[in-house]
């Protein structure tokens, strides 16, 4: 019994959850990015990265950092470019392996993060606090943790076309009908 039957209600609920996740993310990231940018010249992703870096005082390999915040290696390079230009982060080499380089937060980075966190974390706590009782928030955290992206690595990103009987896709030979070069 490889695949299960998907009832219309299953699809309906999944679709609802997905839509709400998308819209919540869009609304919240836009708001917070605007606030953070205006107040400290940072983005939401910058904060996420700096948060990882303060917890790793000896630095962290860029590829591992990428996995933690769900960016690609090139995405991390680009993001760190900005933080390095702002002197919030610096590079360090690995003595034993010249291929790897570490990202290390600077004192200025720690200070800037501390300042930015004050307002940002308060806004976040207020936003959630206004909407959820403590037990509800705990429940939300637990439920969200089951979604992809919850682990440490990014293995789960490599997602194979699973279940048999997947409609819309002939298994052999059929080239994906690419609609337009966008």
Partner DNA sequence: TAAGATTGACCGCTCAATCTTA
Partner DNA sequence: TAAGATTGAGCGGTCAATCTTA
Torsion angle in degrees (nearest 10) through CA of 157, 160, 163, 169: 120
- Give CA separation, 97 vs 73, 80, 105, in Å: 18, 20, 21
Torsion angle in degrees (nearest 10) through CA of 127, 133, 139, 142: 40
SS3 93: strand
Nearest to 114, CA basis, from 40, 167, 44: 40
Q: Which of its own copies, DNA, none binds 27 (CB below 5-8 Å, type-dependent)?
A: its own copies
Residues in 73-112 that interact with its own copies by CB under 8 A: 82, 85-86, 88, 112
Residue 150 found at the interface with its own copies (CB under 8 A): yes
Nearer to its own copies, 99 or 177 (CB): 177
> Considering only residues 58, 161, 172, 173, which one is a binding residue for its own copies as defined by CB under 8 A?
161
Instruction: Give the C-alpha separation, 156 to 148, whole Å.
Output: 7
We find the least distance from the C-beta atom of residue 39 to its own copies, in angstroms, to be 5
We find the least distance from the C-beta atom of residue 84 to DNA, in angstroms, to be 9
> Considering only residues 96, 97, 137, 172, which one is a binding residue for its own copies as defined by CB under 8 A?
137
Nearest to 28, CA basis, from 43, 46, 7, 6: 43
Residue 118 found at the interface with its own copies (CB under 8 A): yes
- The count of residues interacting with its own copies (CB under 8 A) is 92
Q: Which of its own copies, DNA, none binds 55 (CB below 5-8 Å, type-dependent)?
A: none
Nearer to DNA, 35 or 132 (CB): 35
């Amino acid at each position: 019994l490889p695949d299960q039957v998907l009832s219309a209600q299953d699809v309906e609920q999944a679709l609802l959850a997905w839509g709400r996740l998308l819209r919540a993310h869009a609304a919240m990231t836009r708001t917070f990015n605007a606030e953070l940018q205006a107040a400290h010249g940072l983005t939401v992703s910058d904060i996420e990265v700096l948060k990882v870096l303060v917890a790793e005082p000896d630095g962290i390999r860029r590829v591992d950092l990428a996995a933690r915040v769900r960016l690609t290696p090139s995405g991390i390079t680009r993001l760190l470019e900005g933080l390095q230009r702002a002197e919030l982060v610096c590079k360090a080499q690995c003595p034993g392996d010249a291929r790897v380089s570490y990202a290390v937060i600077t004192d200025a980075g720690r200070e800037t993060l501390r300042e930015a966190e004050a307002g940002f974390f308060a806004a976040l706590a207020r936003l959630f606090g206004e909407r959820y009782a403590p037990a509800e928030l705990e429940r939300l955290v637990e439920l969200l943790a089951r979604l992809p992206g919850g682990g440490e690595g990014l293995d789960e990103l490599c997602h194979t076309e699973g279940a048999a009987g997947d409609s819309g896709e002939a298994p052999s030979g059929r080239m994906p009908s690419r609609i337009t070069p966008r």
